[in-house]
Every structure is written in structure tokens, then in C-alpha cells.
Chain A
Amino acid sequence: MPYDYKPFAYTPPPGLTGAEPRHKVAIVGAGPIGLAMAIELANHGVSAVVLDDNNVVSVGSRAICWSKRSLEILDRLGVGERSVTKGVTWKVGRTFHREAEVFNFDLLPEDGHKMPAFVNLQQYYVEEYLVERAQEVGTDLRWKNKVVAVDRHARHAVLTVQTPDGDYQLEADWVIACDGARSPIRAMLGLEFEGELFEERFLIADIRMQADFPSERLFWFEPSFHAGQSALLHKQPDAIYRIDLQLGWDSDPEQERLPERIIPRIQKVVGHGDFTLDWTSIYTFQCRRLRSFVHGPVLFAGDSAHVVSPFGARGGNGGLGDVDALGWRLAAVVKGERPASVLAGYDRERVFGTDENLLNSSRSTRFMSPGDGVERLFRDAVLHLASRADFARPMVNSGRLSKPCVYPLSAPDDVALPEGSRPGAVAPDAPLGQGWLTEALGRDFCLLVLGQEAPAGTGLRVLSPDVTDPLRQRYLGQAAAATYLIRPDQVVAARWVNPDAAGIRAAVEAAWEGL
């Protein structure tokens, strides 16, 4: 059964008949990022209005690979377990050159994490779950509300919104543009993307078939079934497989779009014709971002702020990283607990995270789609050597899969403690009683205290579990005791072997600005 798109109900917004009170936060776009943003803000006690020009979830499966970190974020929002249950869990990727396997990776070689390395799940399901959750937390979701103009003022913005019943104006202290890669808001503000465009074209086809491919990511360079190009296969729920085929820049996108052209290509991949096309698309790559994600009262998050080539699944996952870094800060500004200057922390951290995503995805794209001449010479040299010498295998680049960046904080640290939980990194999960550490961390700053007493007078919630092996391994290493300051987005803000209350209070201050 193809996915059943159920249109969401449009109701005429109050602004059509009289001025609405100024909103605290208006989110433009109900894609995964806008929806996640609304729920995250609600979790921090701030209600947002969400405006979307459409009235259904994502048309086409689009993002299918959700990373462990994204699943942890979705879990905090209340849809993580649902996504894992429905999705196809995987952690192993295999890369082939012609018929030989030349490289493989295991993304989660250790146990003791609530979330798996990756789950494949069509974007429309993720959005469906997020919409339901957003409704549960009381979000004002407005379908068929298209933003057509934005006026920026010093401390607020005015949106002009088009509906089936006419236009109205909506004022908000903060506008978050989550309106996707072609962001109309970005254009309205006259902002431009900076970065690289690649001259390459891929066919992406979701097919429905009964087959028993393993739950792994399979990638081929120059396979016999698609001569001279590359191919990618992913398994999704509902007996759907995602197949990506490189077409080359000379290909004619109008021709390649035709089913009579697509079907024979897919037949060669799967070896038979017993499948149906579920969704197809032709795409080109960009690796670009806005210079800054904060523009007065207008903030950018998700594809409106940055776009990457898809190998590595850094688009949707990168956008959820934005939600993670922005939600707690913006909520505190809205509630008057912090000055607006803490939003510089969002900008700094997500520009950093985005650059890491851009770097990785443009390197992968360059390997997959090398320029003529020396780029191709070295690419082919690596593939040739990979089946003969181990050293060349890690150079084979079919995509480096999304993982959270480690923010470059200059926060208190202790060299005795393990690398994986250093300041700036997401606090590694571990089993905790009947549940998980990620579940216990909560929505505010907290102290994770292991093997010692928490210093008095910090005013912070303290978590002091028994030191189990996974906790020791992930948080103590050779040290006997330690105290970790963990931010609301579960990032380690600072850590000490010999903590004191004044140091902890100073570290909390620095964390707001991401210093």
C-alpha cells in the first residue's frame, strides 16, 4: 500500500477577522525541522505558531536515514520510540568496486545505547509523528498559510500570510525560517547561499518489491549493472527500497524522469521486473550555507540555512542539530531569563556544525563524481588499490555518515577523563537503572556526578547514579570520580575531577554563549 496522504484541516486563522496579539515565536514551514522546533520550544514552555503553505506531510520519502543523535532528539520530543519501531534499523555499510567489497563500516560497535546507529524511515512518517506530537503539546499549526512577505523591525517582525480566504498580517517577536532549501524568507531578506555546486545528477527511485536484501547500506562504484557510474541501495519499511543511480552531468533530466527510462535501469539493478515505482526524482548537488543563521528577529534553521549533498545523510540530521542548539536558548530569551545575545551561541555552534557537514559531504561528492583529469586519476587509483592493499580502503569515500560534531568549547576539562565525553560532545548514552541516561538528563542544565559528592550551592539538579561499567568506561576512564555539567541539549558543557561550585556556575554562564 502506498503511503496514504491525509490532508490536514485548514481553519481560517483569527488574523483574518481582527488583529492577533503579537506571537512570541512564529515558525515558517512544517517540515521536520519546523515541527521539531515547535515541539522543542513547547517542551521548554514556549508556544509557537507554525505556518505552512501546504496541507500534507512530505511529498515523496526524501530523507530516509535518521542518525542515532537524531533519534535521541526525536526521543526527547516524544516520537523516538515510534520511529525506531516503524523504521529499519541498520549500522553496517558495505562499499563495492565492481563485484568486490572494498570497504565496510560498523557505526555502533558497542552496546548499551538506547538508540541504534541509524534507522531508515521515510520523511513522511517522521513528519506524521511530529505533527501528531505537536498537536498533543498544543501547537497552533496553520495549514495553507503561506508567508509572502516579511518586515523586519528592531525587536519583532511582521509576516504577511496568504490563505484560501485572503491575506492577513501576523506579528512575532521571533520568526524561525524553516522553509526549506528554496527558502522564500531567505530570498525576501535578500540573503544568498555561499558554497559549491556540483555538476552531477542522480536518479533516486523508491521501489516496492519483495526481496531479502540485508538491512545494510550497500554502495557500488562502477557496478556491472550500471556501468561506469555509482549506485546506492537502502531498505525502508513497507517493502520499499531506495535506489540511487549516478547519471552524469551529460544526462538529460527530462528524459531520465520518464518511467520507461527508469524501469529498465532498475531492472538491471535488481535482476527482475517484479517491482513497482513508488516515488522517483532527479537531483543535483549543492554544498552551501548562509553566512550567518541569525538576522535580527529572523532565525534560520534546517535546509533554509544550509544544504548538503545527500551522501552521508547530513541534511535532515544536520537540521535536527540546529533544533537542538536553538530551542533551549531561544526559550530562555523569550521567557526573559537570558538576553538575546545568547543566540550568538546558536549561530557560532551551528555554523561550525554545518561546516563539518559541508566538508564531509563535498569530499564524498568529489570522490563519487571526480572532475576530469587528475581528480579521476586518483579516485580510480584508490579504487584499484582498495582490493589489493588495506591502506587504501579508508580512502574509498561513498559518504561519511552523519554524526554530531564536537563543539569547540574552551570549557573546564580534565585530561584524565575519556575523550568521547569531552566538553562540546553529546553526552554518551548508557543504561541507567531500568532506563537510559539520555532519558534521565532532563530539559535543564544538570550535574552528572560519579563517585563523589556534588558541590553544594550550584542550584542545579543532580544525577548521581551508581557507577556501572558503561558509565565508568564512558565518563571516568582511569579516574576514580568526576562531575559533568550537561546542557539542556545533552551536550557536555564542562567536567571536573575536582569540582567547585564557583567553577560550575561560571561554566553555566559560558555555555549559554557556546564559549
Chain B
Amino acid sequence: MALMTTPNISDADGFYAALLAAHKGLSEAESHAMNARLVLVLANHIGDATVLQQALALAREGA
């Protein structure tokens, strides 16, 4: 399996708004903590080691 890098979320603006809404009212530190949990939750959902490796590499690019 390969990491999907083409659009896969049908309502892109809607998801983006939901992401911000989920962080609403959190301090910056709390938001970082929530993001860390979110990464773990999503990573488990994906599960596939190759896809996860590719995702880590893409996210790291240019850092």
C-alpha cells in the first residue's frame, strides 16, 4: 500500500474548520498535546507500517 497524497477528503474546507473548532478554547500547550494524541489516533487507524513511514517522511520534508 502507498500513502495517498491526492485529495481524499470531500469537504476540504469543512474538515479544516472542524480541525480548528476542535482546538477552540485550548491553550497552545493543550493544543500541542491534543495534536500529539490526534497523530496517535490517526496512525493507529492507518496501521500499515509502509504508509506510516511515507507519511512521516512527507511531514518531515522541508522541516
Contacts and interface: CB of A to CB of B under 8 A. Distances in A.
Interface of A: 374, 377-378, 380-382, 384-385, 389, 391-392, 395
A384 B40 CA distance: 11
Given A377-B33, A385-B40, 15 more contacts: A374-B36, A377-B32, A377-B36, A378-B36, A378-B39, A378-B40, A380-B36, A381-B37, A381-B39, A384-B33, A384-B37, A385-B37, A389-B44, A391-B44, A392-B40
A382 B36 CA distance: 9
A426 to B, nearest CB: 28
A265 B33 CA distance: 30
A395 B43 CA distance: 12
A391 B39 CA distance: 13
Instruction: Give the size category of B's interface with A.
Output: under 10
B41 A389 contact: yes
11 contacts: A377-B32, A377-B33, A378-B39, A380-B33, A381-B39, A385-B40, A389-B41, A391-B41, A392-B40, A392-B44, A395-B40
A366 B41 CA distance: 21
Would you call the interface of chain B mostly helix, strand, loop, or mixed?
helix
Contacts, number: 27
A379 to B, nearest CB: 9
B44 A381 contact: no
Contacts of A385: 37, 40-41
Contacts of A374: 36
A378 B33 CA distance: 8
Nearest to B36: A381
Contacts of B41: 385, 389, 391
A152 B17 CA distance: 72
Interface of B: 32-33, 36-37, 39-41, 44
Nearest to B32: A377
B33 to A, nearest CB: 6
A391 B33 CA distance: 18
Contacts of A392: 40, 44
A377 B33 CA distance: 6
B31 to A, nearest CB: 11
Nearest to A380: B33
A170 B47 CA distance: 60
B40 A382 contact: yes
Contacts of A377: 32-33, 36
Contacts of A380: 33, 36
A395 B36 CA distance: 14
A306 B42 CA distance: 38
B23 to A, nearest CB: 15
A381 B40 CA distance: 8
Contacts of B40: 378, 381-382, 385, 392, 395
Nearest to A384: B37
A392 B39 CA distance: 12
A24 B45 CA distance: 60
A378 B37 CA distance: 7
Interchain residue pairs A-B with the least CB separation, the first 6: A381-B36, A391-B44, A381-B37, A377-B36, A378-B36, A385-B37
B28 to A, nearest CB: 12
A79 to B, nearest CB: 43
A384 B39 CA distance: 13
Contacts of B32: 377
B51 to A, nearest CB: 16
Contacts of A381: 33, 36-37, 39-40
A378 B41 CA distance: 12
Contacts of A391: 41, 44
A187 B44 CA distance: 47
A392 B44 CA distance: 8
B32 to A, nearest CB: 6
A392 to B, nearest CB: 6
Contacts of B37: 381, 384-385
B39 to A, nearest CB: 8
A374 B40 CA distance: 13
Contacts of A395: 40
